Structure 1
């Protein structure tokens, strides 16, 4: 839909838009006046958190940096249930109709409707208990317990209490809405006062808790300092410490014993190595140790072993020399073994003596180290206790200082918020905003009107202009035949208007139609005028077109082919006269049935006697012969045919004619009906040259915005004469 089409649709259906634009605001105004007005009071509070400088008490007294989360927390604090409950108790809202549903329930019993229903139920109870139960009103719900009632009223207060943060600031806007403007003002101010009072009380409590904690900490630190000093004195007394002397002597003795122990351990290692070597039987080791007898004995043993081996190799094992050599070898081995045992015993005694020396030195070292460690441990403990004591003294001084600062802070403490502007009694209700309601309803009405117009445009399936004829049917619109209202006709009939008012727009539309037929590539001589259904104005168009052409000097013949419902007899006042059916049946001659119009030079042939077999007559050779005969005598033959959708006669007659004109009633005939009738004509091979919109309302169509409505513009009024 183009902008021009949209504007045209709005012009055509402007009353729908105007009606919606008026009804919606009126309904909104009436509804707004029926609503109970509510008033909103507003208090603004500045949130200004103060920092406390005490470092040890930052987690208790210091506020965080003001962020969105902090401000959101302050909003929830103001809207908390505890604040709402205090407001409920202050103003006794549990007995208010606005915030306590049970009050309305109690008053419902006093209403006329409740009494009427209750009385009716009592009367019906004697007749039918079931019917009385259906009619009886619902009994009022009892008031809840005091605690539940207080909480319920507090929730209602919270729903009416609105707290907002002014953008890019630390200002809190507290609003409360109520039906009573004074109550709204007092509640808003009280919410701000409770918030500030709670903040100050919270700070006082925090300072009080801090003072208590500091006092207890001072006492604890003093006890710890006294205990530490007592332990230092006891430790010095028990260990007999003299600063720097005992520790140095003990350290020197430990060093001397360590030197002797190292030397003894070296001697022990040497003795054990020699003992192990002797026990292993190593000759070289024993020689090194100075065992000369053992060395010579081993040499003699080796010499005896060589002699034995030599004699056994030459003399055999049982030779006397061999046995003698074996005896000498045994003696030398016994001698070597005895000497070896003597040397090992000596070395073992030497190792035991070295080992005893080492143990003695180790015991002396452990004893001395124990004394040294005891002394050093006592000194270390004393030093640690002295450090603890000094730290306790420093902390005690700091806590005493902070305690004095906290005590002074109590006198200068102030809340983190202050009231910028208290609420005042509102002069006009915040709900309903009658002007806003009316404006919004007007906008909604316009939108709804546009929606209705769009729906009507989409639901309208009729044909409203020549453009739609071409778009929907693919046919040219040859003429727009205006509708003649009764006030314009006066005493004239519609069929006579073209003769009575030859310069009227109606007559001009007939001339336009005749010109459109004549200006074709092959100007038709036999024209069938039909429509999709009855009441489309085809007969009026046929008579008016024929008379207009006759008035232009043409020889015109009008034939009534609508045998079932003939109209020409009524128009020309010749009902019952012989006509075309009589001619086709051979019961009349052509010259006898042709009649002359009394207002013009038009010749016409009425339908004649009704004939139920008219289709066979129109399909006969007599009908074709009739048309061939009148073609020679007339310039234009107009056939008034029955509706094409219902009667087959129209299709047969249209096939015999040179052209077919389809009449469509303006804004009345659905497109689907017109398309169906057009399809039937095309199936009959009729030459449909165009369509004519009949009964067009000139004023309405002139405001429609269609291009062919230009002809009804007042600027063309000089060309017409009504």
Structure 2
């Protein structure tokens, strides 16, 4: 036979529950009774509530005490709400509330139990920190404050003290007493500004810097004129040098002596030969016309013409007489060279003077640039001090206005709901304890039923026998009550004849 491992059926469970019905009912009702009775023995607590609106006031505006720093990180509304929440939950605020309301008024049990003031105050501060709840309302800039106490009136008064102390702490936390410090800074900056003015005036007077742009323009114009004159002088000198070299070359090429005069006279022989040649040529023309080209007389005339021409060619046309002496061009060239060198001689000194003037002008221009840089530095210093004084004046005005607001306890907060507590206590909650008792009773009853299923030693139905033993049940006898079964057993024990005793399931 193989045992069956299936779970018990609902019929078996109901049969087991019916058999142990009284213990299950007791297991269920006992936690329920405890849940209904416990709230009656607990100290009731009332809850006072208030709501505070956090506005982006002056205390949340980005400010700095460092001059020259203007860009600061912006504060989000979430950061504002978290900051206010931390102030509300601070230990110093709780102790201020305890001093206002006293421990005996808020927690009389602690005042009776603890004689040591320090221990009593610490315990009361811990209890008040637990009873005080601060939570921001979702998607708003509203903070809800709740305070619980055994006395409704005390809860409202204590929450009012919390709001009052909170506003004082808030103003104190963001208060900035800066007017005296800013006044001292203004006096110091004014002194430094006066020193800067004196230093600038002394520098201008010592350097004679009355109009730097005009002085620079005059120096630039003067330097341009000197530079132009220097270029012209150098060009003039170069031209004279070239002229001296040319004259020297010409002087080197000239001879020491030259022909000074040549006299020419006509020759008598030549003149007579030319006259005779003309006569012969006249005769030749006549004979050629009259006698013919082959006539002997014509040939003779022609031969005479040729002889005369030959004689004329061998005879000089003029007779000349030549006179020589010292070359006068040499003297002229030497005079020109001396005049050119005399003109060139002062140019070197002029060039040197012009170059010195240029260097002096350049030095003065550099000095003016340095003076201008120094004046700009002094001007920036003066301008920075003036700007700092103006900024300090504005900040001092803002600081005095902020201090006036601090003295008037004005902050970026608004109590939109004054402390108020309902008539009914918020603790203990009867419905919650009753529901807890019902849940605990149900769990305890189920646990009792599971224990009966797991550790029970009786078969309450034929289905249980078949499931556990794995064999079919052919017949089931009705159960015999325990009292009747004892009587039968006693009767059988006293009689000699054995009798059949009904079986009990």
CA–CA separation in structure 1 for the residues paired with 2:9 and 2:355: 118
Alignment of 1:242-253 (within 5 A): 242-243=210-211, 244-248=213-217
- Of 94, 99, 108, the residue aligned with 1:89 is 99
Q: State yes or no: 1:421 paired with 2:392.
A: no
Structure 1 unaligned residues grouped into runs of 5+? 107-142, 265-358, 495-534, 541-564, 573-639, 641-662, 664-693, 697-722
Q: Which shifted more, 443-452 or 150-159?
A: 150-159
- The superposition leaves residues 146-179 of structure 1 with CA deviations (integer Å, 9 ceiling, x where unpaired) of 5x65344323322222222222222222222223
Residues 420 and 369 of structure 1: CA distance in aligned 2, closer, same or farther (over 3 Å): same
CA–CA separation in structure 2 for the residues paired with 1:433 and 1:459: 39
> CA offset at residue 215 of structure 1?
3.4
Q: Name 2:132's counterpart in structure 1.
A: 161
- Of 169, 178, 186, the residue aligned with 1:198 is 169
Q: SS of 1:77's equivalent?
A: helix
Q: SS of 1:41's equivalent?
A: strand
Bigger helix share: 2
CA–CA separation in structure 2 for the residues paired with 1:186 and 1:249: 86
- Of 230, 239, 252, the residue aligned with 2:207 is 239
Q: SS of 1:481's equivalent?
A: coil
- The superposition leaves residues 67-118 of structure 1 with CA deviations (integer Å, 9 ceiling, x where unpaired) of 1x543332221121111111121122168764747x3156xxxxxxxxxxxx
CA–CA separation in structure 2 for the residues paired with 1:483 and 1:54: 89
Alignment of 1:99-178 (within 5 A): 100=110, 103-104=112-113, 143=116, 146=118, 149-178=120-149
CA–CA separation in structure 1 for the residues paired with 2:365 and 2:64: 46
Contact 2:197 2:382 in 1 (8 A): yes
Alignment of 1:277-316 (within 5 A): none
> CA offset at residue 379 of structure 1?
2.0
Kindly tell me the number of residue pairs found equivalent between the two proteins: 370
Contact 2:59 2:412 in 1 (8 A): no
Q: Name 1:35's counterpart in structure 2.
A: 42
Alignment of 1:243-642 (within 5 A): 243=211, 244-248=213-217, 370-408=363-401, 414-485=410-481, 569-571=497-499
CA RMSD of aligned residues (A): 4.5
CA–CA separation in structure 2 for the residues paired with 1:387 and 1:185: 62
Q: SS of 2:77's equivalent?
A: coil
Q: SS of 1:187's equivalent?
A: helix
Contact 2:46 2:425 in 1 (8 A): yes
> CA offset at residue 450 of structure 1?
0.7
CA–CA separation in structure 2 for the residues paired with 1:197 and 1:55: 21
- Of 17, 23, 43, the residue aligned with 1:16 is 23
Contact 1:166 1:172 in 2 (8 A): yes
- The superposition leaves residues 227-273 of structure 1 with CA deviations (integer Å, 9 ceiling, x where unpaired) of 3322221111010124235445656788879x99xxx9xxxxxxxxx
Q: Name 2:10's counterpart in structure 1.
A: 4
Q: Name 1:230's counterpart in structure 2.
A: 198
CA–CA separation in structure 1 for the residues paired with 2:197 and 2:89: 56
Larger radius of gyration: 2
Residues 58 and 19 of structure 1: CA distance in aligned 2, closer, same or farther (over 3 Å): farther
Q: Name 1:215's counterpart in structure 2.
A: 183
Residues 58 and 224 of structure 1: CA distance in aligned 2, closer, same or farther (over 3 Å): closer
Residues 360 and 376 of structure 1: CA distance in aligned 2, closer, same or farther (over 3 Å): same
CA–CA separation in structure 2 for the residues paired with 1:472 and 1:487: 28
- The superposition leaves residues 333-363 of structure 1 with CA deviations (integer Å, 9 ceiling, x where unpaired) of xxxxxxxxxxxxxxxxxxxxxxxxxx99999
